[in-house]
Structure 1
Amino acid sequence: MDGSLPVPQPPLRTGRDRVVPVTDPPSEPGRPAPPATLEAFLGSVQRRAFRFAELGLHHRDDALDAVQDAMTRMLGYRDRPPAEWTPLFWTVLRSRIIDVQRRRTFRLSWLSETRAPDGDAIDWADDGPDPAREHDGREAWQMLGDAVRGLPRRQREAFTLRVLEEFDVETTARIMGCSAGSVKTHLFRAREALQLQLEDFR
Structure 2
Amino acid sequence: MATEQELSDFLKNVEKRAFKRSLYHVRNEEAALDIVQDSMLKLAEHYGDKPVDELPMLFQRILSNCTLDWFRRQKTRNALFSNMSDFDGPAEDGTEFDLLEAYAGPDNGERAESAEDLVRRAQIFKDIEAEIQELPARQREAFLMRYWEEMDVAETAAAMGCSEGSVKTHCFRAVQTLSKALKAKGIEP
TM-score, normalised to structure 1, is 0.72
Percent identical: 35
Q: 3-state DSSP class of the match of 2:172?
A: helix
Match for residue 47 of structure 1 among 9, 12, 16: 16
Measured after TM superposition, the shift of residue 159 of structure 1 is 0.5
Match for residue 94 of structure 2 among 129, 135, 141: 129
The equivalent of 2:65 in structure 1 is 95
**1:201 and 2:186 aligned:** yes
Match for residue 70 of structure 1 among 22, 31, 39: 39
Letter in 2 for 1:65: D
Q: 3-state DSSP class of the match of 1:194?
A: helix
The equivalent of 2:147 in structure 1 is 163
Measured after TM superposition, the shift of residue 107 of structure 1 is 2.8
**1:183 and 2:167 aligned:** yes
**1:107 and 2:77 aligned:** yes
**Contact 1:133 1:142 (8 Å CA) reproduced:** no
Between the aligned partners of 1:123 and 1:82, the Cα distance in structure 2 is 42
Between the aligned partners of 2:11 and 2:96, the Cα distance in structure 1 is 24
The equivalent of 1:80 in structure 2 is 50
CA deviation profile, 1:149-194 (whole Å, cap 9, x unmatched)? 1111110011101112211101111111111100001111111221
Between the aligned partners of 2:173 and 2:123, the Cα distance in structure 1 is 24
Match for residue 124 of structure 2 among 116, 140, 164: 140
Q: 3-state DSSP class of the match of 2:97?
A: helix
Cα separation, partners in 2 of 1:129 and 1:36, compared to 1, 3 Å: closer
Between the aligned partners of 1:70 and 1:123, the Cα distance in structure 2 is 26
Paired residues, what number? Answer: 162
Name the larger-Rg structure: 1
**Contact 2:142 2:167 (8 Å CA) reproduced:** yes
**Contact 1:54 1:60 (8 Å CA) reproduced:** yes
Q: Highest relative contact order (Cα 8 Å, sep 6+), 1 or 2?
A: 2
Larger helix percent: 2
**Contact 1:36 1:82 (8 Å CA) reproduced:** no
Cα separation, partners in 2 of 1:109 and 1:140, compared to 1, 3 Å: farther
Q: 3-state DSSP class of the match of 1:201?
A: coil
TM-score, normalised to structure 2, is 0.76
Match for residue 158 of structure 2 among 174, 190, 202: 174
RMSD: 2.5
